[in-house]
Amino acid sequence: MRVEIDGNSGFCFGVINAIKTAEEWLRSEGSLYCLGDIVHNSEEMQRLTAMGLQVISHEEFRQLHNVRVLIRAHGEPPETYQIAKSNGIEIIDATCKVVLNLQKTIKRQFEEHGDDCQILIFGKQGHAEVVGLLGQTNGAGLVLSSINDIDKIDFHRPSHLFSQTTQGSETYATLIAKIGERYSENGHPNYFTYSDTICHSVVNRARQIENFAQKFSHIIFVSGEKSSNGLYLYEICKKSNPNTHFVTSLEQLSQIGFSDDDTIGICGATSTPMWLMEEVKNRILKDAHK
């Protein structure tokens, strides 16, 4: 049996920075509030919680005064910073620089064009990053979660499309084409513009993981169930290798049957810690020698 971990998997730079920032504060202070899960991975959250990280909701955040609160890589809408200022909360901002640049771009687009141009955001409704992006438009933007949502658009008015940074590039390209077609059908082909706002590290990870998945008889894809990036990359793995298994914890490995001549590849989302993939590898090898 050969078991190999994908060297390109593991945290993206935005998550690495957020977790490093949290760990530094936890080591020096012993505890730290975080607005929402710092990463969509329950195993990593358990590790950070044990160090003293206290995850709070937005409602709990509103009740706090004169404390420090970490903003995770997903970013937050302007309202969060306004509440922090009013309540004397010190913000430790770990917003991913790619997300931060996108927020600024959407804000600038909204301020320059206002109601003259519809701002469209391709992303998962209610996702933390999307909430932050929508906040740059004072809630006036339209969230498109799939191609089925394009009927929300007024095709007689100009629009500009942006994407959540962790969306799939293929689906985004299809969405762009469909919206462009509808504008042309309505006689306004020049009313539609868009920006390429998908994180290139996510795009590259998709290509790398597709190639990786083809090299093994089985793929163990390790991810949290709430990770948008994880669900996206898992589908790519599954398409490339039908023997792909979605795993959130070590206990699930016992449900998968392996033989001695299997080759097993282990990979994960940009929110999956490398230490967890190492534990998955060790468990597989341990069970194989029983």
Kind of pairing, strands 118-122 and 68-71? Answer: unpaired
Catalytic residue among 79, 112, 129, 251: 129
Active site residue 129: yes
What residues are annotated to the active site? 129
